[in-house]
């Protein structure tokens, strides 16, 4: 497999769909919004974008499976599987906030080998592939070198359903507000992770996320020299639906803070 060539093709496909989303954002009609669940919004833009991505990616790797957010198709491939979020940050998109993205990951034999995150409004294309560094618009990027929470800027996301852990979460936020340069909530986990890979954020944490929210961005962080783990420090973050991404220097402090609050 020529991963570099495949990634170039995925980037071209992603740009096409990004252009469609950008165009639709200019005349979006709020009447087109559907509700999948509590605070879980979707529109024809999400669904059409996903159909475009699936159609074009299917041509690159016939027989590959798909795991998609909007369930336009879900199938299991024997060797290769795409994990796609066609519009990560739908709520931002619907409300006219300019941070949303396309996230694509390719898994080969259960391991990630390709990741692309496209922040549409800034036209920032983050990508990497197996045995390569991470890139932003073809310039190599690395995670930050900050060693202490007191020097760091963190990203997170707020749960919009399943509020059973909300008290612990608010307790954690209160602690980190006092120990860092601040916390940011952008509204697209894929962008948060890409920003960790680029050294803009020093760490990111969130729970109740799905595979399509994090697969592409998590791979970027790893390829840029960072670490991905769950709140206990283990490797399984997708099935446990909790993720901590760091620059590999803040692991100990972040894990201590997470465990102190979530296990209290």
pLDDT tens digit sequence for 61-120: 999 999 997 666 778 888 999 999 999 998 899 889 999 999 999 999 999 999 999 999
DSSP 8-state secondary structure symbol assigned to residue 179:
H
If you average pLDDT over every residue of the chain, what do you get? 91
pLDDT attached to residue 202: 98
Rounded to the nearest 5°, which phi and psi values hold at 133? -75, -175
Which residue, chain included where needed, has tokens 């209290």?
Answer: 264
**Which H/E stretch holds residue 172?**
helix 166-179
Q: Of 86, 50, 87, 83, give the one whose Cα is nearest residue 64.
A: 83
Question: pTM (2 decimals)?
Answer: 0.94
**What is the pairing mode between strands 203-207 and 154-156?**
parallel
212 within 8 A of 67, measured Cβ to Cβ: yes
User: 217-260: per-residue pLDDT in tens?
Assistant: 999 999 999 999 999 999 999 888 899 999 999 999 999 999 99
User: Could you give the strand order of the β-sheet that contains 80-88, starting from the edge strand earlier in sequence?
Assistant: 65-68, 80-88, 101-108, 111-119, 124-129, 134-136, 139-141
Which domains are delineated in the chain? 3-140 (3.30.540.10), 149-262 (3.40.190.80)
pLDDT grade for 206, boundaries at 50, 70 and 90: very high
pLDDT attached to residue 167: 86
């Amino acid at each position: 497999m020529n991963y570099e060539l495949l990634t170039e093709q995925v980037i071209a496909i992603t740009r096409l769909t990004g252009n469609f989303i950008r165009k639709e954002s200019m005349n979006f009609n709020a009447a087109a919004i559907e509700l999948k669940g509590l605070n879980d919004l979707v529109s024809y833009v999400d669904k059409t974008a996903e159909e475009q991505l699936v159609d074009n990616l299917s041509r690159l790797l016939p027989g590959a499976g798909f795991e998609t957010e909007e369930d336009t198709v879900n199938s299991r491939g024997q060797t290769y599987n795409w994990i796609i979020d066609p519009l990560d940050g739908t709520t931002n998109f619907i409300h006219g906030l300019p941070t949303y993205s396309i996230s694509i990951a390719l898994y080969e034999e259960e391991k990630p080998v390709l990741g692309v995150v496209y922040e549409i409004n800034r036209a920032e294309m983050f990508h990497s592939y197996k045995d390569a560094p991470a890139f932003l618009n073809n310039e190599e990027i690395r995670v930050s070198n900050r060693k202490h929470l007191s020097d760091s800027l963190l990203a997170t996301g707020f749960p919009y359903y399943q509020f059973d852990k909300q008290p612990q979460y608010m307790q954690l936020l209160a602690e980190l507000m006092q120990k860092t340069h601040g916390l940011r909530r952008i509204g697209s986990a894929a962008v948060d992770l890409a920003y960790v890979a680029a050294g803009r954020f020093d760490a990111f944490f969130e729970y109740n996320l799905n595979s399509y929210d994090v697969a592409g961005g998590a791979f970027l962080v790893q390829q840029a020299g960072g670490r991905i783990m769950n709140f206990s420090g283990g490797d399984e973050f997708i099935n446990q639906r909790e993720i901590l991404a760091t620059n590999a220097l803040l692991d100990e402090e972040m894990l201590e803070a997470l465990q102190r609050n979530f296990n209290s």
